[in-house]
Amino acid sequence: MKIIYSEKEKLHRPEHEWSYGKLLPYAEKNTRAEIIKKGIIKDGMKNILMEANEYPLDYLKAVINPEMVDFVKSCEELEPKESVFPHVFPYRDFTPEFTEHPRINLKKAGYYCFDVGIEIDKDTFEAAKASTDVALTGAGLIINKQEKIVFSLCRPPGHHAGYSFFGGYCIFNNAAVAAHQLSMHYGPVAILDVDFHHGNGTQDIFYEQPNVLYVSLHGDPSQFYPFFSGFDDEKGEKLGRGTNINIPLPSGIGDYEYRENLKYAVKQIKKFHPQALVISIGFDTFEKDPIGEFKLTTAFYKEIALIAGEVGVPILAVLEGGYDIADLQKNGKSFIMGLKELE
Ligand code: OKP
Ligand code: ZN
């Protein structure tokens, strides 16, 4: 087993996010991945840590709109105090393709942005790219048959970022970029998303793809972010019909109810016969998380790994959310202990 990290991920550190008309401190702290990494060192497991390699941008552009990737990269030229934090969102039926409307001021209008929970500055690209490299390095170890179990400490997270949009703290979809590589080299891949929120970006990227199954357990979108996506009648389209499974859950559920639903999800994944499993792991399902509204306990994260392990294929776990900074290290460790048992 290996745990992948990159020091560069910390570079992206917005100060604020808008939430229901209030300007709040940015909840997605830049130390999130590092906190889990420090726990590994503290527990004497330094030997399983590995720094990420760098991959060409083509790996991202295989599943992300190349124009959006280039736009985020172009933001490296912003002034030190300048940032892209739009409050205008051009509607897509007016501007279906940016190439046809090249006069749009992308740094002002949130053309690629779907919410006000993200801010891009000159350091964002480097950190977001590093986060994707962390996921790709993990996928590489599995593809080359060097490892069967890998945990990529990605941050910023990725599952809200789609083919042509970013938002919800997510810039590039780390899990999707990695899953695509796995599917190219390995055959069918399943993505199990156990973050509190629905991964609308991951769903978007694979919605018409038959070779990647997306299964997500999340707070019911009629009540929780992202509000418009994650309902159980979203099942995939065209060749991807049937390869998208959403399991919306009510607020307040604990280990017991979650376990039942997770077992159901794993059963559906097994029927798909994937050759590899990507887990989008969010710790915002924790009982003390300031954003998520489930009541999972620390010990349960180990169980999540063990239940997912029943699929019986190589696993790439990718970090998504988890905002209770005080307990993130021990929740991360619990999950890692489960992964270790799968080896
Ligand atoms: C990202 B991930 C609370 C507003 C929450 C964004 C939530 C993004 C979650 N002030 N807005 O899925 O953990
Ligand atoms: Zn989340």
* pLDDT level of residue 109 (50, 70, 90 thresholds): confident
Question: By three-state DSSP, how is residue 280 classified?
Answer: strand
Cα end-to-end span (Å), the chain: 7
Question: At 320, which amino acid appears?
Answer: E
Among 16, 87, 101, 160, the active-site one is 160
pLDDT of residue 104: 84
Residues ≥6 apart with Cβ < 8 Å to 44: none
For 195-231, how does the pLDDT look when each residue is reduced to its tens digit (9 = 90+)?
A: 999 999 999 999 999 999 999 999 999 999 999 999 9
pLDDT of residue 103: 82
DSSP 3-state percent helix, strand, coil across the chain (nearest 5): 40, 20, 45
Query: Rg of the chain over CA atoms, in angstroms?
Result: 18
For 294-335, how does the pLDDT look when each residue is reduced to its tens digit (9 = 90+)?
A: 999 999 999 999 999 999 999 999 999 999 999 999 999 999
Say if residues 172 and 126 touch (Cβ distance below 8 Å). no
Residues ≥6 apart with Cβ < 8 Å to 335: 151, 281, 283, 301, 302, 304, 305, 317
Q: Whose CA is nearest to atom 4 of ligand 1?
A: 19
Compute the CA torsion angle 290, 292, 294, 296 (nearest 10 deg): -70
Tell me how far the alpha carbon of residue 317 lies from the centroid of ligand 2, in angstroms. Answer: 15
Q: Which ligand is nearest to the CA of 32?
A: 1
> Which ligand 1 atom is the nearest neighbour of the CA of 17?
10
Tell me how far the alpha carbon of residue 126 lies from the centroid of ligand 1, in angstroms. Answer: 22
Task: Choose which residue among 171, 225, 228, 294 to substitute to test ligand 1 binding: the one with the highest number of ligand atoms within 8 A of its C-beta.
Answer: 225
Quote the CA–CA distance of 300 and 246 in Å, as a whole number: 21
Task: Choose which residue among 28, 159, 169, 216 to substitute to test ligand 1 binding: the one with the highest number of ligand atoms within 8 A of its C-beta.
Answer: 169
pLDDT of residue 178: 99
Q: Whole-structure pTM over 0.85, yes or no? A: yes
Q: Whose CA is nearest to atom 12 of ligand 1?
A: 197
Which of 303, 210, 228, 322 lies closest to 259, judged by CA?
Answer: 303
Quote the CA–CA distance of 335 and 215 in Å, as a whole number: 19
Which of 71, 124, 77, 79 lies closest to 102, judged by CA?
Answer: 71
> Which ligand 1 atom is the nearest neighbour of the CA of 19?
10
